[in-house]
């Protein structure tokens, strides 16, 4: 990193809410009302999922070829920061703005519907376009809506996608390819993903229970978070990111958390920070047996002096390719609303400790950390195939 970049605007939607204030209040309250039982994506098999409560927004006619539920919610989020996106385009020029969005599902649900229609009627629906499901669709959609001509592409590194979008955008700005980036993540629920994780025996029937001895799987969720990143100073900074690749197993993490540790240490090193400079860590915290074990081990090694940590997935579900961006948005909210102290998201679980998991400092409802001077927060995202990313954000920089 050649110095901090700044996140002057953030919009989001998730099972916690459809705007910044409601999301922040629900987060601190430990609101799990967005975690629901549904068989919508797996007919005949009820699953606990994190579902967006609000209806999606119709797309303008200019983008009908990229119409999908995923892009409808992405558009709804973009409208939250519409003025800031347009200002970036006007200030720097359309060719000097990038769009980098992390995703894994994109618009697959539209293809699922189209395949069912084809099975019943012998042909695809007239309005079906394969581009609706392509990984590049969310980024292309935003670029089309705002007339952006700079680097435009999606990052798809499974559950690390949303976090890696930040490091990708930062590299583009620091290398001089652009002056601003619309960066974030977008993933919505679909049958392939919910059913796929069930086939892997990775889903919990109840709300997930990270770090508990009783944990038995995650919940799939959906969410979108989008930011405007520039070099122009504002309240909240993207300080840096660390990335690593285990290549240990197609779906299981390296059991001692060596790749997770490398990502966290690299984020600190590239940010010129020490572990004691971090005030809070948002865990990947999927509530799967192997992930929680390895992540806790890595955290305990990196932060020898324990810092508050929590997993927010019991309130949102695991939003897959958007998880890194949604959880970055949670850091952004904590910093944005901080005054004398930063209020921390609570770790929701049954309190049953696992003797095989290191004892780490789990944040409780009402916990805060000082916000005087400069404060730094970290977030982890880890993915199938061993793709790891840790990002650091700060205020007062």
Q: Are 148 and 372 in contact (CB under 8 A)?
A: no
> How many angstroms separate the CA atoms of 117 and 121, rounded?
6
- 195-to-49, 69, 192, 392 alpha-carbon distances in Å: 12, 18, 5, 33
Only one residue has tokens 């549904």, namely 38
- Indicate the number of domains in the chain: 1
> How many angstroms separate the CA atoms of 323 and 120, rounded?
35
Q: Which of 178, 284, 334, 347 is catalytic?
A: 284
Average pLDDT, rounded, for the chain: 94
- 1-to-80, 88, 199, 316 alpha-carbon distances in Å: 29, 22, 40, 31
Mean pLDDT of 339-359: 96
Q: Which of 190, 318, 334, 347 is catalytic?
A: 318
What is the span of the domain harbouring residue 365?
5-395
Q: Are 14 and 185 in contact (CB under 8 A)?
A: no
> How many angstroms separate the CA atoms of 235 and 157, rounded?
29
Whether residue 248 lies in the annotated active site: no
Q: β-pairing, 236-245 with 35-38?
A: unpaired
Tens of pLDDT, residue by residue over 13-40, are 999 999 999 999 999 999 999 999 999 9
Q: What percent of the chain has pLDDT over 70?
A: 98
- H helix and E strand count, the chain: 11, 14
Nearest to 343 by CA among 39, 29, 132: 29
Whether residue 8 lies in the annotated active site: no
Is pLDDT of 2 > 70? no
Q: Which residue has the higher pLDDT, 111 or 19?
A: 19
Partnered with residue 63 across adjacent β-strands are none
211: left (phi over 0), alpha (psi -120 to 50) or beta: left
Q: β-pairing, 97-102 with 180-187?
A: parallel
Q: Are 106 and 134 in contact (CB under 8 A)?
A: yes
Is pLDDT of 396 > 80? yes
Task: Indicate the pTM of the whole model.
Answer: 0.96
Only one residue has tokens 């009402």, namely 366
Whether residue 249 lies in the annotated active site: no
Residue 107's pLDDT is 84
Q: Strand locations in 86-232, DSSP E?
A: 97-102, 152-155, 180-187, 223-230
Is pLDDT of 343 > 70? yes
> How many angstroms separate the CA atoms of 395 and 3, rounded?
14
CATH code, domain with 90: 3.40.47.10
For residue 370, give both structure tokens: 């000082």
Q: Which of 159, 178, 190, 208 is catalytic?
A: 159
Tens of pLDDT, residue by residue over 184-207, are 999 999 999 999 999 989 999 999
Partnered with residue 310 across adjacent β-strands are 282
């Amino acid at each position: 990193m050649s110095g901090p970049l700044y996140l002057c605007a953030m919009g989001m939607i998730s099972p916690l809410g459809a705007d910044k204030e409601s999301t922040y209040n629900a987060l601190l309250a430990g609101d799990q009302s967005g975690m629901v039982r549904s068989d919508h994506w797996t007919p005949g098999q009820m699953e606990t999922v994190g579902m967006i409560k609000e209806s999606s927004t119709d797309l303008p006619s200019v983008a009908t070829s990229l119409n999908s539920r995923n892009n409808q919610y992405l558009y709804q989020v973009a409208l939250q920061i519409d003025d800031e996106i347009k200002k970036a385009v006007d200030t720097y020029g359309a060719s000097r703005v990038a769009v980098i969005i992390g995703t894994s599902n994109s618009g697959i649900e539209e293809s699922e519907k189209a395949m069912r229609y084809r099975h019943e009627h012998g042909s695809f629906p007239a309005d079906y376009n394969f581009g609706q499901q392509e990984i590049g669709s969310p980024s292309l959609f935003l670029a089309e809506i705002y007339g952006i001509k700079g680097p435009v592409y999606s990052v798809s590194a499974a559950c690390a996608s949303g976090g890696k979008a930040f490091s990708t955008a930062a590299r583009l700005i620091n290398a001089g390819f652009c002056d601003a980036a619309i960066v974030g993540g977008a993933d919505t629920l679909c049958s392939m993903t919910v059913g796929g994780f069930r086939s892997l025996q990775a889903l919990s029937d109840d709300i997930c229970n990270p770090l508990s001895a009783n944990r038995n799987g995650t919940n799939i969720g959906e969410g979108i978070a989008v930011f405007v990143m520039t070099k122009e100073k504002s309240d909240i900074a993207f300080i840096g990111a660390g990335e690593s690749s285990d290549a240990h197993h197609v779906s299981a993490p390296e059991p001692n958390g060596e790749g997770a540790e490398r990502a966290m240490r690299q984020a600190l090193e590239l940010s010129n920070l020490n572990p004691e400079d971090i005030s809070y860590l948002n865990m990947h915290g999927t509530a799967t047996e192997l992930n929680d074990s390895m992540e806790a081990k890595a955290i305990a090694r990196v932060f020898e002096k324990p810092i508050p940590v929590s997993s927010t997935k019991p309130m949102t579900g695991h939003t897959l390719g958007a998880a890194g961006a949604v959880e970055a948005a949670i850091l952004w909210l904590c910093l944005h609303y901080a005054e004398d102290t930063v209020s921390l998201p609570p770790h929701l679980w049954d309190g049953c400790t696992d003797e095989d998991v290191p004892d780490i400092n789990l944040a409780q409802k009402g916990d805060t950390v000082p916000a005087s001077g400069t404060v730094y927060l970290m977030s982890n995202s880890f993915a199938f195939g061993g793709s790891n990313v840790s990002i650091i954000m700060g205020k007062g920089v």
